[in-house]
A and B are shown apart, each in its own frame.
Chain A
Amino acid sequence: MIWNEKMETMSREEMRALQSERLAATVKRVYENVPAYRAKMDAIGLKPEDIKSVDDITKLPFTTKADLRDNYPFGLFAVPQDDIVRVHASSGTTGKPTVVGYTAKDIEMWSECVARCMTMAGITKKDIVQVAYGYGLFTGGLGAHYGAEHIGAVTVPMGTGNTQKLVTLMKDFGATAIACTPSYLLHISEVMKESGDLSQIKLKAAVCGAEPWTEEMRLQIEKNLNIHAHDIYGLSEVMGPGVACDCEYHEGLHVCEDYFIPEIISPTTLEPVAPGETGELVFTTISKEGLPLIRYRTRDLTSITYDKCKCGRTTCRISRFKGRSDDMLIIRGVNVFPSQVEEALLSIDGVSPHYLIIVDRVNNLDTLEIMVEVDGKFFSDEIKGLEALSVKIGKAVQQMIGLNAKIKLVEPRTIERSMGKAVRVNDKRKLI
């Protein structure tokens, strides 16, 4: 089943023509409306009229998370504030969030993208969809919500946090689909297994995203719940969930190419890699009004195939993610940069402390532990003083990244010193 036959099955030539036309218009628009883009293009002597087709895309400068931060909060918006109807935000590298804005048309486009993705998972207007992503500044909840409504499904805004209630409503409502992070769904499945609720549910499909997961994990979810599980991809800067999703063949994630042009570049040379090779995924949005992004570096490592899929779609597919080209961690669906943890620790002491972030997955839920060396001012001769210190560090970290971390105080020099760049993260999860 295909949501938008015209856009999802057009020939490569038609798609390239459409992308060329939209790209040229987008570049003209950002040049005229966003001073930061105009400055970047002027700096390399590039004029909007130099961009005529998708082949010209490599002439354009890149955009990074730093650009969003430097223009915080609304500096990269390409429309007057009157036309913005919503903002979302995700964590940034220095504590300042990355803010994204949407026009009413952007929200429609987003809903269309999510509708296409949910249709790939077999969801129709006859379904009851529980949205168990966080609602709020995070794009997951509202993004999935609008997509499910756009399809015409009964949409249940569960949010996260109350698994027992989710299970109860899943049974009582006869929910047939769910949208949440894969680790949360695996957790839900084990809760239901223990409580014996598995036989009483009607669930048949899941669209999971917002964090990296393995094919093994996907198959395990399918087996545990006897459903079809699909991988939905997106990032708030580009739009939110719905940029790409895998169809029933699970051979890569179909990109909504009429809205986003993907490229794969080498993170070191910044040149395009050979077709099929792995590199960093870069997106240019070609329909978005509020916050159009030119060659946005996602830092996600993957490869692209343009072969026609067995499902009939002609849109290109990105492969399962193979890691990131920066140090960002995704913990319980939340983006975390080690530098944020460091900033939280610095806010307490004023001296750069030695620390190690340990991420693991226990019972399918991510765990976060931060080892902090007890040294200098980080010391007390009383147990209650040390306990208060743990609590203080925990609170500072919670405020900075929005996640609870277990703080473990260790002796000086416990954390291995490395030559050169310090090793700040030990990610024990097997995701790639």
Chain B
Amino acid sequence: MQAKQLSVFIENREGRLDEVLAVIKAANVNIMSLSLADTSEYGLLRLIVSDPAKADAALKANGFSSMLTDVLVVRLDNKVGSLQSFLAALAKTDINLEYMYGLTIEKEGKASLVIKASDFQKASAILLKSGAELLTAEEIAKL
């Protein structure tokens, strides 16, 4: 039940984001979602893409620092309170949520989230037990 996130280190300089996106485009990889975390000097670009391994290889070949990280992609009902009730299963444990961001909102009333947990295996086991729908890399690519 694991999805791979592509993380890229970028300095806070003009045009750097554009260069990363150009490399991914040239590799013919589709970007499904992204989150950009920033500090005063650098940023971390986190992406969910159609082919993470291919994009990672292309970025590395172009001199970028990138890596693949295991993340949980959870599909929820797009309605009031569903995020909270889903996270309640994790709240009682010692698992930390390092970061999270939205992936997609679907026509059928579903929304997907990307979550990086401090303990991937444990978090995915707990979530599955609580009935959460976790998406695989293949399912994400089809979104």
Give the shortest distance, in Å, between B33 (CB) and chain A (any CB): 15
B41 A381 Cβ-Cβ under 8 A = no
Give the shortest distance, in Å, between A379 (CB) and chain B (any CB): 5
Selected contact of B63 from candidates A382, A408, A412, CB within 8 Å: A412
A381 B44 Cβ-Cβ under 8 A = yes
Q: A382-B98, A382-B99, A382-B116 in contact; A409/B42 too (CB < 8 A)?
A: yes
B63 A413 Cβ-Cβ under 8 A = yes
Give the shortest distance, in Å, between A375 (CB) and chain B (any CB): 5
B39 A383 Cβ-Cβ under 8 A = yes
A55 near B: Cβ within 8 Å?
Answer: no
How many Cβ-Cβ contacts under 8 Å join chain A to chain B? 47
Task: State in angstroms the CA–CA spacing of A410 and B10 once bound together.
Answer: 8
B65 A375 Cβ-Cβ under 8 A = yes
A411 B116 Cβ-Cβ under 8 A = no
| Centre residue among A381, A411, A413, A414 by max chain B CB count within 10 A | A381
B42 A381 Cβ-Cβ under 8 A = no
Interface positions, chain A 386-416, Cβ under 8 Å from B, are: 386-387, 408-414
B11 A386 Cβ-Cβ under 8 A = no
Interface size for chain B: under 10, 10 to 19, 20 to 34, or 35 or more residues? 20 to 34
A411 B65 Cβ-Cβ under 8 A = yes
Interface positions, chain B 1-53, Cβ under 8 Å from A, are: 5, 7, 9-11, 16, 37, 39, 41-42, 44, 46
Give the shortest distance, in Å, between A1 (CB) and chain B (any CB): 54
A374 near B: Cβ within 8 Å?
Answer: yes
Determine the main DSSP class of A at the interface with B: loop
Selected contact of B11 from candidates A375, A387, A410, CB within 8 Å: A410
Q: A410-B11, A411-B11 in contact; A381/B65 too (CB < 8 A)?
A: no
Task: State in angstroms the CA–CA spacing of A386 and B12 once bound together.
Answer: 15
Give the shortest distance, in Å, between A405 (CB) and chain B (any CB): 15
Give the shortest distance, in Å, between B118 (CB) and chain A (any CB): 10
B7 A381 Cβ-Cβ under 8 A = yes
B65 A379 Cβ-Cβ under 8 A = yes
Give the shortest distance, in Å, between B98 (CB) and chain A (any CB): 6
Selected contact of B69 from candidates A373, A381, A387, CB within 8 Å: A381
Determine the main DSSP class of B at the interface with A: strand
The count of residues in chain A whose C-beta lies closer than 8 Å to any C-beta of chain B is 17
Residues of A within 8 A of B65 (CB): 373-375, 378-379, 411-412
Interface positions, chain A 306-356, Cβ under 8 Å from B, are: none
B67 A379 Cβ-Cβ under 8 A = yes
Selected contact of A414 from candidates B11, B46, B69, B98, CB within 8 Å: B11
Residues of A within 8 A of B116 (CB): 381-382
* CB-nearest residue of chain A to B16: A411
Residues of B within 8 A of A379 (CB): 9, 65, 67
Task: State in angstroms the CA–CA spacing of A413 and B65 once bound together.
Answer: 10
Residues of A within 8 A of B39 (CB): 383, 386-387
Residues of B within 8 A of A410 (CB): 11, 42
Task: State in angstroms the CA–CA spacing of A410 and B116 once bound together.
Answer: 24
Task: State in angstroms the CA–CA spacing of A386 and B9 once bound together.
Answer: 10
Residues of A within 8 A of B120 (CB): none
Selected contact of A411 from candidates B5, B9, B98, CB within 8 Å: B9
Residues of A within 8 A of B98 (CB): 382
Give the shortest distance, in Å, between A367 (CB) and chain B (any CB): 16
Give the shortest distance, in Å, between A75 (CB) and chain B (any CB): 45
B64 near A: Cβ within 8 Å?
Answer: yes
Residues of A within 8 A of B11 (CB): 410-411, 414
Q: A386-B42, A386-B44, A408-B41 in contact; A381/B67 too (CB < 8 A)?
A: yes
Give the shortest distance, in Å, between A393 (CB) and chain B (any CB): 14
A383 B9 Cβ-Cβ under 8 A = no
Residues of B within 8 A of A373 (CB): 65
- Seed contacts A381-B46, A381-B116, A409-B42; 13 additional CB < 8 Å A-B pairs: A378-B65, A379-B67, A382-B98, A382-B99, A382-B116, A383-B44, A386-B9, A386-B44, A409-B9, A411-B16, A411-B42, A412-B63, A414-B11
List of 10 A-B pairs having minimum Cβ-Cβ separation, nearest first: A381-B7, A381-B69, A413-B63, A374-B9, A374-B65, A411-B11, A379-B65, A412-B63, A375-B65, A412-B65
- Contact sample, A vs B, 7 pairs, CB 8 Å cutoff: A383-B39, A386-B44, A409-B9, A410-B11, A411-B10, A411-B42, A414-B11
